[in-house]
Amino acid sequence: MNILIVDDEPLELEQLSFLVAKKFPDWNIYTSEDASEAKLLLRETNFSLALVDIQLPGESGLKFCEFLQSNNNQIEVVLITAHQDFQYAKQAIKLHVMDYLVKPVIEKEFYDMLADFMDKHAWIDTKSTLVNSVLQIIREHYQEKLQLADVASQVYVSPTYLSKKFAEETGEKFTGYITRFRIKKAKQLMQENPHWSLFEVAQRVGFSSQHHFSNSFKKVEGITPSQLKEKLHD
């Protein structure tokens, strides 16, 4: 499942992403710091859930929520704000959002919200046996070198067919999914092991070099692993 998190505070993006990944490691998490960037992501990816900060630079979270409601009826929205303002809550109700959370987000409340989302949609994993088998291989062997052709041979299909089916059912290309999964694991290791070097983190999640790790990390997260490490352990 794809989830979109929109917040102009990098630390908030990190916290919410970490909480989601901790509970649902198979979900694909996309982040954006403003509505314009989020709209670009919406053109390329189908999302089931969006977590949106009300106070965004440029177009507000409320305006962005109106855009979502008028252009994508399938996506559920949770508004997040640093202010307990009744007017915000009132507008959220008018926009028919699923929930309304106040910062700092409390872990239990956040997971209760996700549980409500799962119950409301009776979420069922509709991926085929083929793609589930590939996801299992990735989860168990992401630290190793994973090539599409090698994985295809393990599940007895052609690389072309696997590439097509994987993209159709996950919303991502095979290599993109692996990169995002490795970055997710790297962030967890950096959070849990502040004394580890970035070289060690890169090796443990399957990157061939620290340079490749840093470039891939910045492409996915918008910041370098060094910058994240500084923010996590200031």
Angle between the 225-232 and 174-192 helix axes, to the nearest 10 degrees? 30
Per-block average pLDDT, block size 10, for the chain (234 residues)? 92 92 86 94 89 91 87 82 65 72 89 83 69 90 93 92 90 91 89 88 92 92 87 69
Q: Edge-to-edge strand order for the sheet containing 49-53?
A: 28-32, 2-6, 49-53, 76-81, 99-102
Give yes or no: residues 95 and 137 share one domain.
no
C-alpha closest to that of 75 among 62, 63, 65? 65
The HSE-up count of residue 164 (CA atoms within 13 Å, CB side) is 5
Question: 133-187, pLDDT tens digit by residue?
Answer: 899 899 899 999 999 999 999 999 999 999 999 998 888 899 999 999 999 899 8
Residue 77's domain comprises 2-121
CB 154 within 8 A of CB 137: yes
Angle between the 10-23 and 174-192 helix axes, to the nearest 10 degrees? 100
Query: For residue 220, what is the domain's CATH number?
Result: 1.10.10.60
Q: How many domains does the chain have?
A: 2
Give yes or no: residues 24 and 50 share one domain.
yes
Give yes or no: residues 15 and 93 share one domain.
yes
CA 71 to chain centre: 21
CB 58 within 8 A of CB 8: no
Cis peptide bond upstream of 194, omega within 30: no
Question: Which of 121, 141, 168 is the C-terminal boundary of a domain?
Answer: 121
